[in-house]
Amino acid sequence: MDSPPKIIKVALDVPLSTRFDYLAGNATVDDIGSRVAVPFGNKLLVGILLDIKPRSEIPATRLKSAVRIFRDIPPLSPSLLDLFRFCSDYYHHPIGSVMLNALPAGLKTAKPVEMKRPRFFSLTEAGRLGQVRGKNMSRLLDAFIKEGTLDLESIRAEFPLDALRRLLDLGLLEESQEKPLPLEIAASPGLNPGQQQALARILENPNGFHPWLLYGITGSGKTEVYLQAIAEILRAGKQALFLVPEINLTPHLENAFRSRFPNTLIVSLHSGLSDAERLQNWLRAQAGEAKIILGTRLAVFTPLPSLGLIIVDEEHDASFKQQEGLRYCARDVAVFRAKQESVPVILGSATPSLESYHSARRGRYKLLELKDRAIPNATLPEVRFVDLRTEKRKSGLSEKLLAAISIRLERGEQSLVFLNRRGYSPALICSSCSWTPNCTRCASRLVLHLKDRRLRCHYCGYGERIPQSCPECGNLDLKPVGHGTQRIESELFEHFPGARILRIDRDSIRKKHAWGEMLEKIYRNEADILVGTQILAKGHDFPNLTLVGILNSDASLYSSDFRASERLFAQLTQVSGRAGRAGSPGEVLIQTEFRDHPLYAALKQHDYDAIAAMLLEERTAAGFPPYVHQALIRAESLSLEAAMTFLEQVRTIASGLGQDVTIFDPAMASMARLSNMERAQILFQSPSRQKLQNFLKLLLSNLNPAATRAVRWHVDVDPLEF
């Protein structure tokens, strides 16, 4: 008697919350979590096998057969599959899209993959005694005599591969097997009492779920606490996952990890890697060979068979929130994963998010505080204000700030001028009719990039040449208004013609190795004045930098965004903390018209607790997070009327569900037009996370009749942008 056909349930990267049924006679329970190639319409798609069933609700005669189940690498673990299911349920996003977008690009094609282990070479007996002619061969042989064994990538970086081939042909070298090296941990600096206490508390309970909030002032040595906690994890034979908000923070941390753990395999996972590099690093993490995994937000989904610790550095940073597709917060997913896998998680920041700070004050997280700078005699910088109501400015720079920079140049110290606005000028204006160029695709002005002779939109990337004259009135006098980093750089060159000025923003670090080269210049004291955006604001330790000047920070003081003050304080604290991190005292000069604002008062005293208490009080009164939980449905269409009509239908359906959730009126998004699409949204909130989740599930199950082809829409749970 023939056995009934096996039905496999497959998750595919399609915009449907459905698991698709296929026939697969050779499937076994060991294949759950494996990649599978299946026909879908007239395409061949790769999905993830989630389950095996004896029957399907669809007649077997209508089911297609799977083309191939890939058994080239281990399947995704049950715990990782559970993590994906949680994200799909919580963020209300199709399970297939959640899973496939978390995988490296190399796993999304219907081709087998393999982990390419590093190739190692070592000296033969003849090589130990041999001599060769040729400069490159001689240099390479000397390197082998010194090191004993070298891997192919190290050789490729320093020597032509032809020299390697010739030494192999001569029998002086041979390919050898990779040998696991014993754990080596370099000597660590002594800890101050605050660091010692924090580390001791973390290591008291190295097993089980323990969420720690490491709240330490800038320069307090949080990284050293991380390193010593990781050392204990490595001694136990486990893996550590280290998340950072931005790719620019990875080179500095990679160097710190490699110096401290020279024999440990450390891999990075971020968008700066090629697809092949990312795949191989992911595979080595999945195999348990990589012991330290350093990555940006997507790395939270890395398969780790022996996970022992998760660290989220700069946990307050908004970059941990994905703004497209699955709109997850990597910090929150990291906490859930730590609980799921029963491991500790450390959230670190000098300015914790109000959500994390509130959780620590309520006892949901365990609070660790570092109140002193790690380097002896190093103190927090003195914060001073330049009152723009009375002080003279020349092209955005006050005389006091210019004088302070001049003093640092005389001392051979470094200065940082911080302006979180790239380009030359945020606007171009006609002196006759006040015309300004706007983006044709977005509700935003075009930014002047003078060096490129272009006007650019910083939202959608649209660009055009600078007009010769005003298109409205023909006037030739078009003037830049306001300041960006390029304009400040030009002004500083004019004031200090002999100074070495380095501009650091997204425009100046576009090339692959540009950022690393700039960092080297700063550390070697080959730059006197840094002009930069938020890229420079966090995670960097410049010992010779003693002055920070801050421009245009007033713009965020009276924003309609209820998170603007929290973000501004964090940003100013982080950038101020770059000054005076070594023995020399630091100074911060803030150009402002509102020096008496409570936020600036707290910043001057380096009092995060004061500003957090004030903001939490405001949030309580206003009914904002963390005291309520929010979700948005955003709609976009070529027509604003179509988007608003759709959201009105959503509101009608939502109002009839009878749930304990506040439903707000549909409204235009703050960026009402983006990339030729009109945008609107509707907000829901509730004091209960569970009630909001139940409401969203019920709403979305009733929403399809309201959808139209003219409108694209998505759900954003715990939104950061409105």
Give the DSSP per-residue string, 585-597. --EEEEEES-TT-
Q: Which two tokens stand for residue 491?
A: 């002004």
Q: Please state the CATH superfamily assignment of the domain spanning residues 193-370 in this structure.
A: P-loop containing nucleotide triphosphate hydrolases (3.40.50.300)
Q: Using CB atoms within 10 A of its CB, is residue 449 exposed (0-12), middle (13-18) or buried (19+)?
A: buried
Place of tokens 């006098």: 477
Helix (H, G, I), strand (E, B) or coil at 140: helix
- Is the omega angle on the peptide bond into residue 626 within 30 degrees of 0, that is, cis? yes
Question: In the prediction, which pLDDT does 179 show?
Answer: 65
The helix/strand/coil state of 242 is strand
Is there a common fold for 193-370 and 629-717? Answer: no
On whether the CB atoms of residues 19 and 51 are closer than 8 A, the answer is: yes
Mean pLDDT across the stretch 36-48? 95
Confidence bin at 10 (pLDDT 50/70/90): very high
Output the pLDDT for position 308: 97
Q: Among the ranges 51-65, 340-354, 413-427, 445-459, which has the highest mean pLDDT value?
A: 340-354
Tokens describing residue 439: 């983006």
Domain 7-107, classified CATH 3.40.1440.60, yes or no? yes
User: According to the model, what pLDDT value does residue 705 have?
Assistant: 57
Mean pLDDT of the region 325-338: 97
Q: Is the pLDDT of residue 676 over 70?
A: yes
- Mean pLDDT value of segment 233-251: 93
Q: Pick the more confident residue, 560 or 637.
A: 637
8 A C-beta contact, residue 397 and residue 488: yes
* 209 C-beta neighbours (distance < 10 Å), count: 15
d(CA 66, CA 24): 6
Q: Which residue has the higher pLDDT, 707 or 305?
A: 305
Condensed to tens digits (0 to 9), the pLDDT of residues 589-624 reads 999 999 999 999 999 999 999 999 999 999 999 999
pLDDT in tens, 192-225: 999 999 999 999 988 899 999 999 998 899 999 9
Write down the pLDDT at residue 462: 92
List the domain boundaries for the chain: 7-107, 120-176, 193-370, 382-425+482-618, 629-717
Which stretch of 54-63, 171-180, 273-282 has the lowest confidence by average pLDDT? 171-180
Instruction: Give the bridge partners for 417, in sequence order.
Output: 531, 549
Helix (H) or strand (E) holding 10: strand 7-11
Say whether pLDDT at 673 is over 70: yes
Say what percent of the chain tops pLDDT 90.
Answer: 65
Q: What is the pLDDT of residue 706?
A: 57
User: Length of the chain in residues, anyone?
Assistant: 722
Q: How confident is the model at residue 547 (pLDDT cuts 50, 70, 90)?
A: very high
Residue 1, pLDDT score? 42
Q: Report the alpha-carbon distance of residue 579 to residue 662 in Å, rounded.
A: 45
3-state percent helix, strand, coil for the chain, nearest multiple of 5: 35, 25, 40
Beta strands in 382-493 (DSSP E): 382-387, 393-394, 397-398, 414-418, 427-430, 447-449, 454-456, 463-465, 478-481
636 has which bridge partners? Answer: 679, 712
The residue with tokens 């799977």 is 66
Write out the two tokens for 210. 């323990």
pLDDT number for residue 247: 87
Tens-place pLDDT, residues 358-412: 999 999 999 999 998 888 877 889 999 999 988 877 778 999 999 999 999 999 9
Top pLDDT among 235 and 581 is at: 235
544-to-136, 189, 309, 697 alpha-carbon distances in Å: 39, 20, 34, 54
Q: Give me the CATH topology for the region 382-425+482-618.
A: Rossmann fold (3.40.50)
Q: What is the pTM of this model?
A: 0.90
Distance CA(524)–CA(222), nearest Å, equals: 24
Give 629-717's CATH code, choosing from 3.10.105.10, 1.10.3470.10, 3.30.70.360, 3.30.9.80: 3.30.70.360
Kindly tell me if the per-residue pLDDT of 504 is higher than 50. Answer: yes
